Amino acid sequence: DYRIVMLTPREGGGFLRLSALQAELTQAIIAVGADLRPELTERHYAPHLTLALSVSEAEANRIVSQARSENLSIEFWVQAVWLLHFTPGEGTETTIDRSVFTLPGSGNLLSD
């Protein structure tokens, strides 16, 4: 079994802005795309930063314990948002188109 360790911000400024942006983007792209993971839209969206991907359960527990014991707190600016469009091809081939959208001004602060 493998786990993903994510840091989720507290409810508030950056969290609310990113949640609103996600909801707006979801509505805007419904007409032009096919959702590869529709089950994800049934859950509440939580902006997050992935700290570790595909680690063992023991390693995930160690990372979480250490982050909690050290009162891990981060702050970063969101300056751009990337949208990825996956187009299935022949066999296992997939084309990925990437679009970057730079946020106006200095970006948006997201902190935990």
Does this model's pTM top 0.85? no
2-12 pLDDT per residue, tens: 666 766 666 66
Question: How far apart (Å, rounded) are the C-alpha atoms in residues 31 and 26?
Answer: 10
> Which tokens go with 4?
């993903």
- Look at residue 76 in the predicted model and tell me its pLDDT: 65
Q: What are phi and psi of 80, to 5 degrees?
A: -155, 155
In this structure, the number of other CB atoms found within 10 A of the CB of residue 3 comes to: 17
Strands (E) across the chain are located at 2-7, 49-56, 75-78, 80-88, 94-102, 108-111
Radius of gyration of the chain (CA): 17
Domains in the chain: boundaries: 2-111
pLDDT of residue 112: 42
